[in-house]
Structures are given as C-alpha cells and as structure tokens.
Structure 1
C-alpha cells in the first residue's frame, strides 16, 4: 500500500477481511448503516438503509452488498464508511489489512530513522527545575542591577546575605560583593 492510496482502493483491499471477520455482527452492521444514513443521507438513502438492515438477509450478505454499494458511490462514501467503522469498532478498524500495512510501513521508516539518528545531543540533562532556578537567579541579579541604586539596595542587604547561603561559592561571592559595593555608595 502506498501513501497515496485512497479509501476507494483500501475498501477494495479490506472488503474480504471485513466480510470474513466474526466481529462484524448484525448489531455493528446496523450501527454502520444508521451512521451513514443519518449523517450522510447523500451516501446512503433511507430506502438503501432499509435494504441493508433487512434481518431476513444474512449479515455477511448484507455487509458484502453494503461494501459493494459504497465502492460504487466513490471515494467520499468509502471514506465515511472508514470513519464510521473507526467510531463504532476501533479494534476492527485498526486490524484492517490496509491499516496494519500502513503501521508496519510507518514503523519501518521510523526504525530506519531511529537507527540513523540514534545518538542524541543533550546539552543539559538536569531538567526544567534547574533551568527555572537559573533563570530566576539571573532575573534577580538583573533586577538588582537596574533597580538596586542607592536606598533600595541598602534595605535589601540583609536579605541578599541570607539568600546567598544556598548558592555555590562563586555565585555567593559575586552576590555578596555586589551588596557590599552597593552599601558603600
């Protein structure tokens, strides 16, 4: 299956699987017919919906006729059938042969990509909290630099000495020296 294959071709490929799958029971076929009839009456008119919901005809025969009818209606009808199947029976939808092939194709492309780009460049593996704490520290220093002139800096001296207690030695020295310079002004 190619990436450009449409729903029309997919339905042709999946029809045999759908008709032979035991999970496609009477109730599910009825729900699909009702979905197509109520939401897309241009795809499945009332008269056609009654024909596909006729319980005197075996479910497999009704399903085969429904798929043939939708195939004859074209690409949009096939797309809406797949949409209804996805809504009402996700497990069947994802086990369709075309879906399985598409997943396998995507997995093989991804594994080739992963093998080529297996090594990942990590600049910092400390996480987001480390980044936020560094950003906060730099923002605090910037605020002190721009607004720390004169009287404001003298008031914050004690607070800054206490704040420096948890910092590394170099950061602590810079912060304390900045406070001492501010006090001298």
Structure 2
C-alpha cells in the first residue's frame, strides 16, 4: 500500500498493455492531457511521437509507459490522474487498485455494492412506488372532481404546504390560495 506511483505503474503496465479498453482515442486523450497540463512531463515533440497514428496503439502505449517510468514519480502520478479523469472503469480495475481495495477492506465486502447502495432511495421495490403513486392520484382525483365540501377549505392547507417548496412552486400554490373567485 505504500508503493510509489512508479512501482504501481511497473506493476500495472502489463494489465494496461493487454486491456482493450485503451484504444487509440483514449491513448491520445492521455497524451494530450499530459502534454497540455504538464508539458514538463511530455513536451510537444514527445507528444507528437506518442500520437503518431502510423504506429500501432499498443506500441505507442508501451513506449509511453516506459517514458513515464523514466521521468519519475511525478510523471507516473500524473498518468494515473489522467487515467482516472478519462476512464474510471480502467482506473478502478487496475491490479494495484484492486489489491488496495482488498487490503483496506479486510471483511471482504464488495465495494461496488456499497457504491450502488449509496444511490438507492428505498429498497421496497416498484410495487411500493405504484401503491404510493396511486394513493396520491386517487386523492388528487377526489380533490379536483369532488365537491368542495369533502376537503373543506383545502386552500389554506396548500398555502402552508408551499413553505418548504422552491420559489416557482410556492408562487403557483400561493396564487391558487389567493384566487378566491375560483370555484371547485
């Protein structure tokens, strides 16, 4: 876990060279990122060399990785940063990243499941949603199609419910409560 980026790049090089997700377009993006943002790592002449389309992509990528390892720790670190920016799926599937996740997670729980669970709003499923939605639709139909005596003066309730809403929704609800000429 205390490996330097240089050591990590040496360990990940074989994986990067064999991964088919690193196509010509992605290698060009990585080279351009390193050239434009960090010209001390890749100058214009070197960037043209690594973007030469007459050379196969896997050869250019191998030369780029070897060049970055010769440049040192900062160059390797910036390569990882560019890889993370342009293709997260390749970055997170690198052997050193997988090993790091496994060592930081001694229980062996799956981090992909943890990330997925972070975005789940509820785990009750679609039937719960349909039930709640149909109750809301039923109440709305009862309110709008029934006579005004069922809910009484619901306009006051709408006025109070507007307090927690955004500006546009609040204006609509408040204008509805102020409209005394409107008949139900």
The answer, yes or no, to whether TM exceeds 0.5 is yes
Distance 2:11 2:62 in 1: 13
The offset of 1:4, in angstroms, is 1.3
The offset of 1:110, in angstroms, is 8.0
| Displacement over 2 Å in runs of 4+ | none
- 2:48 corresponds in structure 1 to 50
- 2:63 corresponds in structure 1 to 65
Higher helix proportion: 1
Structure 2: runs of 5+ lacking an equivalent: 110-184
In structure 1, which of residues 24, 30, 33 is the aligned counterpart of residue 31 of structure 2? 33
The offset of 1:109, in angstroms, is 6.4
- Structure 2 contact 102–108 (Cα < 8 Å) conserved: no
Distance 1:85 1:74 in 2: 17
Distance 1:108 1:75 in 2: 29
1:128-164 C-alpha deviation (Å, 9 max, x unpaired): xxxxxxxxxxxxxxxxxxxxxxxxxxxxxxxxxxxxx
1:16-59 C-alpha deviation (Å, 9 max, x unpaired): 00000000000000000000000000000000000000000000
Structure 1: runs of 5+ lacking an equivalent: 112-185
In structure 2, which of residues 68, 77, 81 is the aligned counterpart of residue 83 of structure 1? 81
CA RMSD between the two structures? 1.2
1:62-115 C-alpha deviation (Å, 9 max, x unpaired): 00000000000000000000000000000000000000000001111687xxxx
Structure of greater Rg: 1
Number of positions where the alignment pairs a residue of Structure 1 with one of Structure 2: 109
In structure 2, which of residues 13, 16, 26 is the aligned counterpart of residue 15 of structure 1? 13
TM-score normalised by structure 1 residue count: 0.58
* Corresponding residue SS for 1:108: coil
